[in-house]
Amino acid sequence: MAQHLKSSSKSILLNILRHNIGFSSPSHASRHLRHNLPHGPLTTRLSPNPITRYCNTMVDTLSSIGSHEDTNSQVMDFPGGKVAFTPEIHFISESNEERVPCYRVLDDNGQQLTNSQFVPVSKEIAVKMYSDMVTLQMMDNIFYEAQRQGRLSFYATAFGEEAINIASAAALSPDDVIFPQYREPGVLLWRGFTLQEFANQCFGNKSDYGKGRQMPVHYGSNKLNYFTVSATIATQLPNAVGAAYSLKMDGKDACAVTFFGDGGSSEGDFHAALNFAAVMEAPVLFICRNNGWAISTPTSDQFRSDGVVVKGRAYGIRSIRVDGNDALAMYSAVHEAREMAIRERRPILIEALTYRVGHHSTSDDSTRYRSADEIEWWNKARNPLSRFRTWVESNGWWSDEAESDLRSKIKKEMLEAIRVAEKTEKPNLNHMFSDVYDVPPLNLREQELLVRQAIKSHPQDYPSDVPL
Amino acid sequence: MWGILRRSAVDGGGFSASSLRRTRFSLVSARSYAAGSKEMTVRDALNSAIDEEMSADPKVFVMGEEVGQYQGAYKITKGLLEKYGPERVYDTPITEAGFTGIGVGAAYAGLKPVVEFMTFNFSMQAIDHIINSAAKSNYMSAGQINVPIVFRGPNGAAAGVGAQHSQCYAAWYASVPGLKVLAPYSAEDARGLLKAAIRDPDPVVFLENELLYGESFPISEEALDSSFCLPIGKAKIEREGKDVTITTFSKMVGFALKAAEKLAEEGISAEVINLRSIRPLDRATINASVRKTSRLVTVEEGFPQHGVCAEICASVVEESFSYLDAPVERIAGADVPMPYAANLERLALPQVEDIVRAAKRACYRSK
């Protein structure tokens, strides 16, 4: 995109400035040529009246179309760039004739398609991916049952979306910061969050990193670069753009990655985040889990566009539609997207098509608004685990024995994790008042004293299982 | 010299002879009164505060509509774009929800954004991010995510801008745990509190006032120093008195000081407290003052129901009930959306006369 560097002397100057300022992206350099002039021998005064703040590279591209040779080309300069005129009254259709095709590598039975392009995966990674998908599914099963038994207050499963969870995590680096919605615990699992740590958060005990402050499945881990789940829908999208901007300013080899559902794409924050990310040139991946349902709202009631992938172009964002139940396709798409995002400093939109096999949460019974047959079909015929397993086994990397070993190991670990988590003490009373601010202010310290005095005077009125 | 000091006392710079006794309540030392010849507008005070903090810490950056090339809708960020470049002085598209969310995200990742709202009325489009993404994050994440962000901009009534540009949001934001809410009055307040806000690791809502931007106040050498900082959570006694306590913040401080002058002519000595910090509220200073004077008049520009004054009344009744010699007087804006017509607008806002009458009522000098 360096068409606007017209003379070699200008590029020499740019190189000098780049060394002084420390920017390496050409799309930035000319903007900074005007504004970020360092104090010192190169300039003695502030930049002259800047008319255009940005070298709009799109302007340059269009200007080369209706070029000086063709004087009859009917082109005019509007704010934002040159546009060609047309004498025909033509409305752009509300949708393309064909829907955007969906990238996949494996067919429905897990056989690799003959002309498929994908990023190769080593045995180690493939086995870890498959094992983690199984672990995620079993963890969800057992926690869901625990809620049904009354041992947990709430849970939300990721059934059907295991490939999206694990494969995307596998394609990222540990330095990439994750801004989840709430159906992506697999990313944490991949990065090393243990079953015990998941259980601790769900039971809200004193080992919970969240200090018992949030509902189950609202995980977070500073160490693993996974921002604590916030239940408000799509608010994490602009947050991710801000974090990406910060990573860019720091020159880190990392991007921000944010997940959201088909429903989340209706929020105002979706629009603001995508628009902004494109303007700011922020290295962020927007991964949409289009699973067909937003609680009971099907996608036909959510939007009238061809899914979410076509919205990327409206903001000037490169986009791809992927088969979200194909682990290899997800891995490749995220891998490539990450490269582009960081190297070219741009946002990328990935729409992963999938199906929400489970209910929205334990507070929902989805058979009320969709047929049990439909759910069963997706669970059996389009299961991401069995598809990927076929491929892994075809490479000789997995077996029935490995499967049953893994499953019994996880079951044991899970039951132990729940047993321990349930027995562990709840967080201490002082955690009711800590972390509201960086340093507890006087009024909160006073409140805590008052509560403690009240408990001392009337112990029978207070729960006995809250440690003081 | 006297002339300057007297004028500044009327304007509310708080430089009167009795102010020397107040030094224990503020960081401004006695020697600054002798110098007292430097003046600064609130606009310049804010601009210099942001400039110095940006210079000291490369993680600080400014974002908002028109903050860069336009030099700021109210020129508060004048000159910053030229000095720090477009990556640190960021002109945003028109989406308060967007740029607030993005600022919070940048703060999550370690930067220190100073987000400008053209007026706090527009912050309503972003209030979800301020409350749910910024204020509550440290608590919900158990200390793993802190949000060192400052939201600033003009708050409250200007002149002739109508209902959607005149609301005071102090009470709304100050009701949320996790936020700190500041409201400067003088140039010194503006400098010291904004610097403190930018350095603070918690999210801070910084409520300025458009009509105060152009007003000049005396400023001490100490306040001009780049390391100057005022403590958050401490009110300032602008004028000492012994008969009635008047608490208020922002533009109303000037009105209260004028009212105190008028009351002094009638033999009533009013103590004027500039709250400076709405959350945390300096209940100690307020109550100590009421215990001294036994009477309270609390003033604010915003709507009366659930206002800052209501909280102060509750605090004083809870803690200093037996010291009160008269019912608490509460002066607030009229309980209507702000009308546009100048005569109606004047009637909808507290005026000096309202404060004077309320103080006299509290002193049982009139009905």
Kindly state whether residue A311 falls inside one of the protein's structural domains.
yes
Task: Give the closest of A220, A221, A249 to B87, CB-based.
Answer: A249
CA distance B140 to chain A (A): 6
Identify whether A308 is part of a domain: yes
- For A79-235, strand residue ranges (E) read 81-84, 177-179
The structural domain count of chain A equals 2
- Neighbouring C-alpha atoms within 13 Å toward the C-beta of B217: 29
Tokens of B70: 């336009």
B271 catalytic residue (yes or no): no
pLDDT value for A77: 87
pLDDT of residue A463: 84
Is the domain of A289 the same as that of A401?
yes
| Residue A366 shares a structural domain with residue A434 | no
Provide, as residue numbers in chain B, all residues whose Cβ is less than 8 Å from the Cβ of A240: 105
Q: Which one of A205, A270, A437 would you mutate to disrupt binding with B, by most B Cβ within 10 Å of its Cβ?
A: A437
Find which of A249, A275, A445 to mutate to test the B interface (most B CBs within 10 Å of its CB): A249
Integer Cα distance of A292 and A351 in angstroms: 12
Residue A436 domain flag? yes
* Residue % of chain A over a pLDDT of 70: 84
pLDDT bucket at B93, cuts 50 / 70 / 90: confident
pLDDT at B6 over 70: no
Minimal Cα–Cα distance from B241 to chain A, Å?
27
Using the beta-carbon criterion (under 8 Å), do A242 and B107 form an inter-chain contact?
yes
Instruction: Tell whether A447 and A359 lie within a shared domain.
Output: no
Whether residues A342 and A289 fall in one domain: yes
Task: Give me the pLDDT at residue B32, please.
Answer: 44
Q: Is A301 within the bounds of a domain? A: yes
- A308 and A447 both lie in a single domain: no
A44 falls within a domain:
no
* Mean pLDDT, residues B185-196 taken together: 97
Measured between beta carbons, which residues in chain A are less than 8 angstroms from residue B287? none
- Report CB contact under 8 Å: A210, B142: yes
For the record, the structure tokens of A265 come out as 């794409």
Same domain, A196 and A132: yes
* Whole-number Å distance between alpha carbons of A286 and A156: 22
Domain range for residue A448?
429-458
pLDDT, tens digit, 9 for 90 and up, residues B20-36: 344 344 444 444 444 55
Picking from A303, A253, A308, A263, the residue whose alpha carbon sits closest to that of residue A286 is A308
Same domain, A380 and A405: yes
Query: Tell me, what CATH number does A272's domain have?
Result: 3.40.50.970
Mean pLDDT, chain A, rounded, equals 87
Q: Which residues pair with A349 in a beta bridge?
A: A286, A319
Point out the residue among A222, A250, A268 whose CB comes nearest to the CB of B144.
Answer: A222
A237 vs B343 pLDDT, higher one: A237
State whether B109 and A434 contact (CB < 8 Å): no
Q: Is A82 among the domain residues?
A: no
Interchain proximity A438–B97, CB inside 8 Å: no
**pLDDT tens track for B103-131:** 999 999 999 999 999 999 999 999 999 99
Whether B15 has a pLDDT exceeding 80, the answer reads no
- List Cα–Cα distances, B122 to A91, B97, B118, B198, B312, in angstroms: 35, 10, 7, 21, 27
For chains A and B, count residue pairs whose Cβ atoms are closer than 8 Å. 168
If asked whether residues A223 and A358 sit together in one domain, one would say yes
Give the predicted TM-score (pTM) of the model: 0.79
Among A208, A214, A243, the residue with its CB nearest the CB of B105 is A243
Residues A452 and A380 in one domain: no
Q: Looking at A369, A419, A445, A452, which residue is catalytic?
A: A369
Distance CA A5, CA A30 (A): 8
Together in a domain, A375 and A439? no
Annotated active-site residue in B52, B53, B96, B271: B96
Helix/strand/coil for B58: coil
pLDDT tens digits, residue range A234-272?
999 999 999 999 999 999 999 999 999 999 999 999 999
- pLDDT tens readout for residues B292-309: 999 999 999 999 999 999
Residues from chain B contacting residue A211 (CB–CB below 8 Å): 142-143
Give the pair of three-digit tokens for residue B48.
């210099």
Query: What's the Cα-to-Cα distance from A282 to each of A121, A263, A266, A315, B189, rounded to whole Å?
Result: 28, 23, 21, 13, 36
CA distance B174 to chain A (A): 14
What pLDDT does B367 receive?
Answer: 60
Cross-strand partners of A206: none
More confident residue, B2 or B41: B41
Tell whether A140 and A259 lie within a shared domain. yes
ipTM exceeding 0.95, yes/no = no
- Tens-digit pLDDT profile for residues A163-212: 999 999 999 999 999 999 999 999 999 999 999 999 999 999 999 999 99
Decide if A465 is inside a domain.
no
* Per-residue confidence band for B272, with pLDDT thresholds at 50, 70 and 90: very high
Distance from CA of B334 to the nearest CA of A (A): 31
Active site residue B96: yes
What does the pLDDT read at residue A73?
A: 60
Q: Which of A59-73, A270-284, B66-80, B255-269 has the lowest mean pLDDT?
A: A59-73
pLDDT digits (tens, 9 = 90+) for A369-412: 999 999 999 999 999 999 999 999 999 999 999 999 999 999 99
Residue A54 lies in a domain: no
Cα–Cα distance list, A458 to A303, A427, A431, A461 (Å): 56, 21, 21, 6
Q: Residue A33 pLDDT > 90, yes or no?
A: no
- List pLDDT tens digits, range B224-250: 999 999 999 999 999 999 999 999 999
Residue A428 has pLDDT above 80, yes or no: yes
- Do A199 and A256 belong together in one domain? yes
